[in-house]
Every structure is written in C-alpha cells, then in structure tokens.
C-alpha cells in the first residue's frame, strides 16, 4: 500500500469504518481525513455512507446527544443555537489570503499562515470525548456538469442531520469518481458546549475559508449557516471554481412559473436574507426548484441553471397559513423537519408572525422563556429569534419542481434582483438589456441590513448581487464575469429589478404582501412578449391596464389608478442619491471597476435629470410613453 495516509488511517479507525473510507480511491481525501483526526483527536470516527440505516443513525444520535429534541409531530425536531450564535457572523468569517495577495477591501480577510495557526489552534483537541462524523455530499445534481463533490468532518450530529435534508448524498459519487473527485472540504467542531449542547465559547468562534486548498474551518459555533460547510461557506469556494472554468455561481433561488397554454418559465432571483427571497420562490401555485444557491452554465447559447442544494434552510418568521401555504403544510404534517431557535411549548413550535395565538412561556434560544424576559443588556427577549429557521428537504414540498435532479439543469427565462429599498426603486421593472440589468439592478443592489446577519439592523448598504459577503475573487472581476457571461448566450434571460419594501411619505409600504405574485406573473408574460411596458429612466415598468387584469386574475383584487401612481412614481432625487451611494461604494471598495458600470450609471443619471427637467422630481408613470 503506497498511500501513507490510508496506512495511518488504519490505525485510527475500526475495521468497518476503515473499509468504508478505503473504498474511495482518493489520496487527497484520505489526507484531509487523516489530518482532521490528528488535529481534533476524536475518541472515534464514524464514516457515513448513503444507506438508509446510516441516515437513521445520524437522526437518532442527534436526539440521543441532545443536539435535537423530538416535537409532537412525528419527524419534527428542535435545535437551539446560543444567544451569541444566531446568524452568519461577518466579523469572524474570513478568507485566508496568502502573503502578498489581497481580495477586495469589502471582504474580510486575514493572512493565510496567521489565520491557519489561529483556527487550527482552536480546533486542536476539540473533539476529545466525541465522535468525528465523516460525511460525503454533492453540490448540484449527481452525474452532472453542475456537480461538485464535498466532504465534511464534524462532531455535530445536528450538522450531519442538516446535511441529509439540504444536500444530495455523495458517498457513492466519491466511490464512482475516485481520484477524479476534486472536492471541497469542511472541518467543523462545536467546541465546548453546555448542558443544552450549545456552543459556549462564542468569543472564540471562527469561520475561515482557505481558497488555496478549497477547505473551510469552522469552530465554536453551531448555527447552520456557519457550520454546514456546503452552504454559504462552500459558495465562496464555488465562486472561484466558476471563475476559473467560465460559469457562474449565484446566491439565487430557482422557480418555475406557470403561463399560457400550460408552459413553464424558469426564473432565478437574488435577494438578500429577509427581503422576500423564499416567499417569492414559494409562491402558491408555482413550482420551486431552489431557494438559495444556483449554478449557471452557457450551453448551446442558452442559460442553463441548477440548484446547488436539494433542501431549504429557510427563515420561519412571518410564515403563515394564508401567505405561505406550501411551507405551512410541510411544517404542520409528519415528516423530517428541523426547527431552530423557535419557542417550544408542550412539544409544539411557535415563531414570530405566524398568525396564531402564542404562549407566554416555554423554551427558546435563551433557555426557559417567559413574556417580558430580558437579556443582559436589558433588552426584552422575543418568544423566538427573528432569524429562527426550518430545515426541510425540497421533495417534501408538494410544489417541488420535478426537474430538481435533472443533470442538464433548466433553461432560464428571467433573472430578478430584489433588495429592501424604502425610498427609490419601484416594485417591479425590466432592464433595457443584459448589461443594464447586471449593473443597475445587480451590481447596484442596495438593501437595509436585517436580523439574518449579526450586527445593527436597518442600515442601508450595497449588497452587490446579494452575494457580496461570499465573493472570494475581486468584486470587479465578479461583475465582469457576469457581463461576459451574457455574451455567451444567444437566448439571453430578461433581467428584472424588484423591491417589495418601497414606502410612501408616511412610511407605509406601497406593496401588499401578496402583490409579488402579480409582479412575477407580469415578468413571465414579458419574457414571452405578451404584455407591453412603459419606459422610464430606470427601466421598463408594467402598463396600468395589464396590472388591472393581473391583480384580478391572480389575487381577485381591484387595482386602481391611485395604486399605480403610488407604486410606480419615479422618485428622481432618491434615485440620484442611490446612484451616488453605489458609485461611492465601488470607488472605495472595488479595484478594476468594469467601465460598463460607469457607462450605465452615467446614462441612468442623464435620463433621470432629463426627466426631472421636464416633469419634476416626482414623476407619475402616466408621464412616460408605452414601450
């Protein structure tokens, strides 16, 4: 046997688990696992295959160890993260960058050797007294050009269980690919935990990404966004892979929208967390293909897309039976669901904004909870966290698209970029062309910060393509890649900008919660040339007559001229201020800015100023001609 790592592993694993690992002919994999064992010193190692028995074992162990607890409905469990571990932690999530190199100033980074020494120091001996679980999964459908093999070593059976719900099983894929499996790797430990199995050393939480070896290190955290390595952590690695190979990895949902004559049109959408992403992807009557991460490839001039995942790790706040019937259904019937950071009382989960009466006491992320309970700073603790989540496999949803596992992917008809913009952009508009859409809606995407990211809420910030936190190449290069991708296509997807959070002068939302379904139906008809538009300085908006028809058809709701004016008035000064903020951000944070951005911004500024000169600062949509 020439594989020294495998020889070493034989001394660390029992015969059954050694044979499982040795069945995969991949020396780099054996080296990663051997290093993880040597560093973390677990008491035992369990290598998980794709068998139903192994899936059942990981569920049972998560409950036996107390990382999850069963709820009243069969298959449902609850997991709690600590008070200081309730979202993606920007401050301690860093790229490991070799000395002499740097990424964009907007990206959090640390010199590679320094960072490795720190995070590996925290992981040293972290699994003493525990089992190391070795998991094999894939990003994208198996047997596909979209597929990326991944391995994760963790001491959390909750993490292992979440992987089962969110990703495709990959043990057999690793065996099939053998030495051809160029994989992403994650090493995670919960670190020290308390009696509730919650990580307690949050001051030593670190999530470091080594893009030179396609490896993620995560320690002293349990929140899935920081620990399930295939999620946003692997997205950072995928972006670099896509950059090298000429395709795109995007923070986008995928959905199928029904149209005339039984057709189905596929859309992708980039929305920062808590900006309407999952609720759009899960619109009643439509089909969901994915809610978070999508891969795009140009194939014979068409934009083909696939979901990197096969499950949903969704925000549960404001999920109601009326507005989210498909999600509500799966959260209230038997089947595998992991709830996290909601309130539990008598075996039932409760969350914020669920539209039913909720208890005044129970257990939540803070421990035993009662109404009026305060944290150390004196702030009242809500019954559930705003970023409370549910994890569920997509195939459990009645509206799951049957093309989920299609190795060829699906052809995109349109792309949406949506932010949380209270002042400027109208609820729905179409770009003039691919370049205008990528720059004016994608690269210029602005949103208020929300509870999904640790830090202050309600602060306006640029969130380029809703992927800014995850981009591991220069931001200017990322935008350029998107611009160049469009040139590879002969059937170019339409690009739309949406904004469900526009407010009037009194601070009231101009959109209803369910109005988004009308905007999506309008977009579907635009793709097929069945409705016209009105051309404004910032894009093409719907015609009033089409919205009257669509609101009646989709929502059985009367739509008035006053609604139209409130929603689609062009606010010139607010849009100019938005352009100023975007340009300032790029000049301060981005090197090698593609010249197309300055051209698109300048043209948009000129159109806004010309319109203001003719019509004033607040321009009714009725002032603009139909396109």
Which tens digit of pLDDT belongs to each residue from 299-315?
999 999 999 999 999 99
Torsion 442-443-448-454 (CA) sign: positive
> Are residues 278 and 352 part of one domain?
no
Q: What is the Cα–Cα distance from 187 to 134, expressed in whole angstroms?
A: 10
Residue 78 lies in a domain: no
Residue ranges in 207-365 assigned as alpha helix (H): 224-227, 232-245, 277-281, 325-330
Q: What is the Cα–Cα distance from 98 to 124, expressed in whole angstroms?
A: 22
pLDDT, one tens digit per residue, over 4-54 is: 899 889 999 999 999 999 999 999 999 999 999 999 999 999 999 999 999
User: Does residue 285 carry a pLDDT above 60?
Assistant: yes
Show the tokens assigned to 530. 């069945």
Residue 173 lies in a domain: yes
Decide which of 258 and 472 is more confident.
258
Residue 452's pLDDT is what?
46
> Are residues 132 and 58 part of one domain?
yes
Residue 72 lies in a domain: no
> Are residues 362 and 262 part of one domain?
no
Q: How many secondary structure helices (H) and strands (E) does the chain include?
A: 18, 33
How do strand 494-499 and strand 410-419 relate by DSSP bridges? parallel
Q: What is the Cα–Cα distance from 295 to 246, expressed in whole angstroms?
A: 11
How do strand 539-541 and strand 460-462 relate by DSSP bridges? unpaired
Torsion of CA 343, 344, 350, 356, to 10 degrees: -120
Neighbour count for residue 424 (Cβ, 10 Å): 21
The answer to whether 337 touches 355, Cβ cutoff 8 Å, is no
pLDDT, one tens digit per residue, over 559-583 is: 999 999 999 999 999 999 999 999 9
The answer to whether 415 touches 437, Cβ cutoff 8 Å, is yes
> Are residues 383 and 328 part of one domain?
yes
DSSP letter (8 states) at residue 355: S
Residue 401 lies in a domain: no
Residue 623 designated active-site: no
Q: Out of 245, 262, 292, pick the residue that ends a domain.
A: 245
**Under 8 Å CB-to-CB from 536, ≥6 apart: which residues?**
426, 429, 568, 570, 611, 619, 621, 624
Residue written as tokens 């162990």? 61
Give the pLDDT mean for 269-287: 89
Q: What is the Cα–Cα distance from 167 to 152, expressed in whole angstroms?
A: 12
Residue 232's pLDDT is what?
87
> Are residues 236 and 184 part of one domain?
yes
> Are residues 514 and 429 part of one domain?
yes
Residue 370 lies in a domain: yes
DSSP string, 147-212: -EEEEEEES-HHHHHHHHHHSEE-HHHHHHHGGG---EEEEEE--SB-TTS-B--GGG-EEEEETT
Residue 128 lies in a domain: yes
Q: Out of 347, 365, 396, pick the residue that ends a domain.
A: 396
Q: What is the Cα–Cα distance from 623 to 119, expressed in whole angstroms?
A: 59
pLDDT, one tens digit per residue, over 143-195 is: 999 999 999 999 999 999 999 999 999 999 999 999 999 999 999 999 999 99
Confidence of residue 101 (pLDDT cuts 50, 70, 90): confident
Torsion of CA 198, 200, 203, 207, to 10 degrees: -30
Angle CA(502)–CA(507)–CA(513) in degrees, nearest 5? 50
Residue 212's pLDDT is what?
93
> Are residues 444 and 329 part of one domain?
no
Residue 22 host element (H or E): helix 15-22
> Are residues 348 and 477 part of one domain?
no
Residue 449's pLDDT is what?
63
> What is the CATH classification number for the domain harbouring 502?
3.90.228.20
Which of 153, 275, 428, 540 does the annotation list as catalytic? 275
Percent share of the chain, pLDDT over 70:
98
Residue 107's pLDDT is what?
77
> Are residues 481 and 434 part of one domain?
yes
For the chain, what is the domain count?
A: 3
Q: What is the Cα–Cα distance from 34 to 456, expressed in whole angstroms?
A: 41
pLDDT, one tens digit per residue, over 401-441 is: 999 999 999 999 999 999 999 999 999 999 999 999 999 99
DSSP letter (8 states) at residue 381: P
The answer to whether 477 touches 107, Cβ cutoff 8 Å, is no
The answer to whether 137 touches 147, Cβ cutoff 8 Å, is no
The answer to whether 73 touches 334, Cβ cutoff 8 Å, is yes
Q: Taking Cα atoms as reference points, which of 254, 246, 61, 21 lies closest to residue 155?
A: 61
Q: What is the Cα–Cα distance from 268 to 293, expressed in whole angstroms?
A: 10
> What is the CATH classification number for the domain harbouring 150?
3.40.449.10
Confidence of residue 557 (pLDDT cuts 50, 70, 90): very high
Q: What is the Cα–Cα distance from 443 to 104, expressed in whole angstroms?
A: 15
Task: Give helix 112-123 / helix 27-40 axis angle, nearest 10°.
Answer: 60
User: Does residue 352 carry a pLDDT above 60?
Assistant: yes
User: Does residue 273 carry a pLDDT above 80?
Assistant: no
DSSP string, 467-492: TGGG--S-HHHHHHHHHHHHHT-SBP
Q: What is the Cα–Cα distance from 97 to 364, expressed in whole angstroms?
A: 38
- pTM, entire model: 0.93
Decide which of 87 and 222 is more confident.
222
Q: Out of 218, 245, 272, pick the residue that ends a domain.
A: 245
Q: What is the Cα–Cα distance from 362 to 369, expressed in whole angstroms?
A: 5
Q: What is the Cα–Cα distance from 363 to 508, expressed in whole angstroms?
A: 34
DSSP string, 51-97: -HHHHHHHHHHHHHTTSSEE-SSTTEEEE---TT-SSB-TTTEEEEE
User: Does residue 451 carry a pLDDT above 90?
Assistant: no
Domain that holds residue 392: 313-396
> What is the CATH classification number for the domain harbouring 330?
2.170.8.10
Show the tokens assigned to 245. 């190979």
User: Does residue 1 carry a pLDDT above 50?
Assistant: no
User: Does residue 387 carry a pLDDT above 50?
Assistant: yes
Confidence of residue 459 (pLDDT cuts 50, 70, 90): low
**Under 8 Å CB-to-CB from 27, ≥6 apart: which residues?**
3, 5, 6, 179
Residue 80 lies in a domain: no
What backbone phi and psi angles, to 5 degrees, belong to 502?
A: -65, 135
Residue 348 host element (H or E): strand 348-350
> Are residues 489 and 349 part of one domain?
no
> Are residues 389 and 528 part of one domain?
no
Q: For the ranges 85-94, 401-410, 534-543, which has the lowest average pLDDT?
A: 85-94
**Under 8 Å CB-to-CB from 255, ≥6 apart: which residues?**
266, 267, 269, 280, 281, 283, 286, 287, 288, 289, 401
Over the range 59-85, which residues count as b (16 or more CB within 10 Å of their CB) and which as e?
Answer: bebbeebbbbbebebeebbbbbbbebb
Residue 57's pLDDT is what?
98
> Are residues 125 and 205 part of one domain?
yes
Residue 76 lies in a domain: no
Q: What is the Cα–Cα distance from 132 to 123, expressed in whole angstroms?
A: 12
User: Does residue 454 carry a pLDDT above 60?
Assistant: no
């Amino acid at each position: 046997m020439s594989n020294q790592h495998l020889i070493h592993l034989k001394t660390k694993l029992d015969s059954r688990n050694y044979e499982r690992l040795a069945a995969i002919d991949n020396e780099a994999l054996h080296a990663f696992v051997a290093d993880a064992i040597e560093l973390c010193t677990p008491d035992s190692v369990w290598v998980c295959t794709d068998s139903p028995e192994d899936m059942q074992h990981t569920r049972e162990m998560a409950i036996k160890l107390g990382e999850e607890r069963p709820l009243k409905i069969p298959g449902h469990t609850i997991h709690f993260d600590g008070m200081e571990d309730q979202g993606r932690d920007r401050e301690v999530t860093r790229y490991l960058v070799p000395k002499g190199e740097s990424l964009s100033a907007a990206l959090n980074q640390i010199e590679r050797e320094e960072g490795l020494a720190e995070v590996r120091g925290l992981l040293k001996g972290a699994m003493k007294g525990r089992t190391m679980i070795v998991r094999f999964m894939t990003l994208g459908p198996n047997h596909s050009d979209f597929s990326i093999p991944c391995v994760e070593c963790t001491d959390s059976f909750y993490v292992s269980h979440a992987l089962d719900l969110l990703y495709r099983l990959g043990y057999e894929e690793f065996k099939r690919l053998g030495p051809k499996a160029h994989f992403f790797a994650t090493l995670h430990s919960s670190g020290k935990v308390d009696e509730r199995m919650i990580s307690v050393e949050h001051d030593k939480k670190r999530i470091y990404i080594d893009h030179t070896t396609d490896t993620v290190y995560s320690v002293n955290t349990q929140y899935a966004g920081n620990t399930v390595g295939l999620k946003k952590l692997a997205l950072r690695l995928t972006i670099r892979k896509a950059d090298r190979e000429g395709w795109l990895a995007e923070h986008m949902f995928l959905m199928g929208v029904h149209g005339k004559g039984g057709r189905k049109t596929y859309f992708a959408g980039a929305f920062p967390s808590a900006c309407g992403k999952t609720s759009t992807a899960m619109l009643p009557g439509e089909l969901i293909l994915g809610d978070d991460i999508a891969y795009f490839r140009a194939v014979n001039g068409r934009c083909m897309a696939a979901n990197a995942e096969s499950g949903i790790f969704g925000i549960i706040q404001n999920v109601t039976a009326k507005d989210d019937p498909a999600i509500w259904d799966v959260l209230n019937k038997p089947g595998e669901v992991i709830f996290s950071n909601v309130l539990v009382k008598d075996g039932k989960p409760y969350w914020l904004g669920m539209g039913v009466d909720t208890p005044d006491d129970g257990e939540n992320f803070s421990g035993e909870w009662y109404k009026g309970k305060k944290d150390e700073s004196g702030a009242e603790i809500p019954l559930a966290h705003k970023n409370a989540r549910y994890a569920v496999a997509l195939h459990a949803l009645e509206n799951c698209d049957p093309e989920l596992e299609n190795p060829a992917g699906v052809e995109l008809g349109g792309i949406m970029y949506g932010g949380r913009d209270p002042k400027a952009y109208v609820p729905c508009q179409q770009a003039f062309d691919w370049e205008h859409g990528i720059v004016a809606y994608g690269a210029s995407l602005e949103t208020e910060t929300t509870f999904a990211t640790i830090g202050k809420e309600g602060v306006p910030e640029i969130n380029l393509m809703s992927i800014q936190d995850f981009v591991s190449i220069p931001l200017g290069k990322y935008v350029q890649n998107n611009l160049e991708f469009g040139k590879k296509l002969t059937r170019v997807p339409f690009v739309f900008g949406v904004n469900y959070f526009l407010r009037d002068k009194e601070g009231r939302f101009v959109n209803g919660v369910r109005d988004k379904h009308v905007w999506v139906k309008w977009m579907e008809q635009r793709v097929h040339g069945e409705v016209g538009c009105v051309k404004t300085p910032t894009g093409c908006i719907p015609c009033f007559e089409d919205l009257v028809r669509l609101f009646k058809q989709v929502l059985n709701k009367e739509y008035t001229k006053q609604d139209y004016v409130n929603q689609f008035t062009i606010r010139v000064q607010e849009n100019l201020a938005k352009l100023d903020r975007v340009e300032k951000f790029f000049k301060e944070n981005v090197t090698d800015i593609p010249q197309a951005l300055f051209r698109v911004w300048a043209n948009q500024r000129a159109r806004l100023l010309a319109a203001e000169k003719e019509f004033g600062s607040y321009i009714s949509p009725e002032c603009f001609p139909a396109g």
